[in-house]
Amino acid sequence: MDVEKRMEELKIVPVVVLQSAADAVPLADALTAAGLPLAEVTFRTEAAEESIRRIAGAFPEMLVGAGTVSSVEQAVKAVEAGAKFLVSAGFQTDITEFALKKGIPIFPGVCTPTELMMLLKYDLRVAKFFPAEQYGGLKTIRALSGPFPQMRFMPTGGIHAGNVKEYLADPRIIACGGSWMVKDSLIKAGNFDEIRRLTAEAVNLVKG
């Protein structure tokens, strides 16, 4: 699977926090049914590894990855569980080198020219721009693109239904990470019907 190409086709990367692995399959079902078979399951909870394993097993066609990866140990667990890509909040050499050695796409978080130069050292051409809105959003991305025209970005942080189309209209953007359709409160309440509705709404929004 060409992960970057698939992300660009789907346009939105749902950033998911799962407190219980029991919610993983119902969530994946809601996302898939709504037309968005993609999820970045963050390693912010103990349930992340098992959640990825369950989603990968139940929905082999779904593009599931691990987010907020902050150590090689987490990266190993994610890949062994079935993660097809890795995302980190910032750049870390050992995680990046592990991913490249394993042939797993990785999207390190950046917000400065120095970090972009570090990515280019590893021939990485797509970066997570995080936290996007707090660091100037599209204005900063466009400014960074001056000296780094070969780079493309996956902005995450402060992305919502009201600004996602503006981001996606820029050719420098491969996709946007967001959690407005997979809010923690909805997952904890088991309100997967609402997640399906919000996701379908988001899919229609970015296609329009």
Provide CB contacts within 8 A for 201, sequence distance 6+. 161, 181
Strand order in the sheet with 106-110: 152-155, 126-129, 106-110, 86-88, 63-67, 38-42, 12-16, 176-178
Q: CA distances (Å), 163 to each of 155, 167, 202, in order?
A: 11, 7, 11
- The active-site residue, picked from 40, 49, 77, 84, is 40
Handedness of CA 128, 134, 137, 140 (dihedral sign): negative
Helix (H, G, I), strand (E, B) or coil at 38: strand
Q: Which runs of consecutive H residues, i.e. helices, occur in 59-136? A: 72-81, 93-102, 113-121
> Quick check: is 128 catalytic?
yes
Candidates 11, 77, 84, 128; catalytic one: 128
Rg (CA), the chain: 16
Q: Is 11 annotated as catalytic?
A: no
Read off the amino acid at residue 76: V
Catalytic residues: 40, 128
